[in-house]
Amino acid sequence: MESPRDLHYKRGELASPMAPGALTWMRVPLAITTSASPTEPLIARAQAAARQWGVPFLLRRHKKSLSAWFGSHAEALLVFGHDGVTLWDKEGHHGFHLGMAHLRRLRVAQGEPDTFVRVAQLGPGDAVLDCSLGLAQDALVASRAVGPTGRVVGVEKSLALCALVAEGLKLHELGPDSCRVEVVHADALEHLRSLPARSFDIVFFDPMFARPQKAQPGFDVLRRFADHAPLTREALEEGRRVARRWVLIKGARHSDDLKKLGLSPEPGSRYTDVAWARIAPAEPALAP
Ligand SMILES: C[S@@+](CC[C@H](N)C(=O)[O-])C[C@H]1O[C@@H](n2cnc3c(N)ncnc32)[C@H](O)[C@@H]1O
């Protein structure tokens, strides 16, 4: 069943999601569409996602190229295809996939070392709050390490990345040895403030590095859409309030990201560009 808003877009017009029905012709940061040969179920799925994320749905005519919409209609498009979900902008695209996390999850399953798992001391049943979900690589590793009795919540500030990952994850069966990754679109500090003290075992921050790292697949897309604001001491303090075991921070080894926050890296491999730091949770207040 089409909503009046969907019909409106079908005529090739774009209204602000804030003012349904108004002919504002404004370009939006993100819209949702389908691949160029959509079926009814695919259209229905994309429309439902557009409603969920509060962004316009653009009906794509058969074989219509996306390029005409960039500039006039949307800065970015989340495209629902028969084989997955892809985020496009005029510079390129990235289809959601498990990426390197797939291999890391296999290694965790075989009891092989993973630095995130080791430094966080992750084990079955743990609850992990990932305050910088990105492409969910670390969150997916955590979901395998904590297993089906654990919990992983990923917070992401960028709507485009958040929608890409949340919709992409819906299409991936993680199996009975993992918990699902719950995705929250929010600013991490605001979300932390809304949580009770000591409600997660691990609170994890992986802010954008000051200096670009060697690109993993999809990292250029991540860089364009990500929030680049540096991690603050205030967010770390909120993390310490919410954490029961550790607040974990990932930084770049050859930068002063961690030092600026007064953090020292944990000992680790000399052969990696990544440095990890962890801080203890805040002491619970004594009862009066
Ligand atoms: C380096 S990436 C994280 C990569 C991620 N660990 C992974 O495995 O794919 C940092 C992510 O944190 C997000 N971010 C930055 N500041 C944030 C904030 N205040 N709240 C929520 N997300 C934030 C960025 O948009 C970006 O997607």
* pLDDT of residue 16 exceeding 60: no
Mean pLDDT of 138-142: 98
| Tokens read off for 87 | 């985020």
**138 in contact with ligand 1, CB cutoff 6 A:** yes
- Give the residue, 191 or 37, on which the prediction is more confident: 191
Closest to 158 (Cα-Cα) out of 278, 78, 57: 78
Q: How far apart are the first and last CA of the chain?
A: 59
Q: Is the pLDDT of residue 101 over 80?
A: yes
Alpha-carbon gap, residue 155 to 200, rounded angstroms = 13
Query: Three-class SS of residue 58?
Result: coil
55-64, 116-125, 130-139, 205-214: which range is least confident on average? 205-214
The mean pLDDT of 170-188, rounded to a whole number, is 97
Residue 283 has pLDDT above 70, yes or no: yes
Q: How far does residue 157's CA lie from ligand 1's centre (Å)?
A: 7
Which residues are CB-contacts of 240 (< 8 A; sequence separation ≥ 6)? 203, 247, 279, 280, 281, 282
96, pLDDT greater than 50? yes
Using a 6 Å cutoff on CB, does residue 167 contact ligand 1? no
Distance 209 CA to ligand 1 centre (A): 10
Query: Probe ligand 1: pick from 103, 114, 132, 135, max atoms within 8 Å of CB?
Result: 132
Q: What is the pLDDT, as a whole number, of residue 224?
A: 92
- Going by C-beta distance under 8 Å and a sequence separation of 6 or more, which residues neighbour residue 44? none
Atom of ligand 1 nearest to the CA of 135: 9
Choice between 3 and 77, residue whose per-residue pLDDT is larger: 77
Q: Rounded to the nearest 5 degrees, what angle is found at the Cα of 20, between the Cα atoms of 16 and 21? A: 105
Please tell me the predicted confidence (pLDDT) of residue 252.
86
Closest CA to 167 of 86, 105, 69: 86
User: Is any ligand 1 atom within 6 A of the Cβ of residue 215?
Assistant: no
Distance CA 209, CA 114 (A): 20
User: Measured from the CB, is residue 206 less than 6 Å from ligand 1?
Assistant: yes
Q: Whose CA is nearest to atom 9 of ligand 1?
A: 135
Instruction: Mean pLDDT check: name the lowest of 86-100, 184-198, 257-271.
Output: 257-271
CA 62 / ligand 1 centre spacing (Å): 35
Q: What is the pLDDT of residues 147-176, one digit of tens each?
A: 999 999 999 999 999 999 999 999 999 999
Q: Is the pTM of this model over 0.95?
A: no
Sign of CA dihedral 95, 101, 105, 107: positive
**Bridge partners, 196 (sequence order):** none
Query: For 216-270, what is each residue's pLDDT tens digit?
Result: 666 788 889 999 999 999 999 999 999 999 999 999 887 888 999 999 988 776 6
CB 116 within 8 A of CB 122: yes
Q: Helix %, strand %, coil % for the chain, to 5?
A: 30, 20, 45
Structure confidence by residue, pLDDT tens digits, 35-78: 999 999 999 999 999 999 999 999 998 888 898 888 788 999 99
Q: Which of 1-5, 186-190, 203-207 shows the lowest per-residue confidence on average (mean pLDDT)?
A: 1-5
Which residue's alpha carbon is nearest to atom 8 within ligand 1? Answer: 137
Which pLDDT score is estimated for 35? 95
Q: Average pLDDT, stretch 97-102?
A: 95
In this structure, the residue with its CA closest to atom 5 of ligand 1 is 134
Q: Alpha carbon of 217 to those of 6, 44, 98, 244, 271: distances in Å?
A: 34, 30, 11, 33, 20
Burial degree of 159 (CB within 10 A; 0-12, 13-18, 19+): middle
Q: Is the CB of 207 under 6 A from ligand 1?
A: yes
User: Do 141 and 117 meet the contact criterion of CB atoms below 8 Å apart?
Assistant: yes
188 lines ligand 1 (CB under 6 A): yes
Cα torsion at 52, 54, 56, 58 (round to 10°)?
-10
134 lines ligand 1 (CB under 6 A): yes
According to the model, what pLDDT value does residue 1 have?
Answer: 36
Domains and CATH numbers, the chain: 4-95 (3.40.50), 100-279 (3.40.50.150)
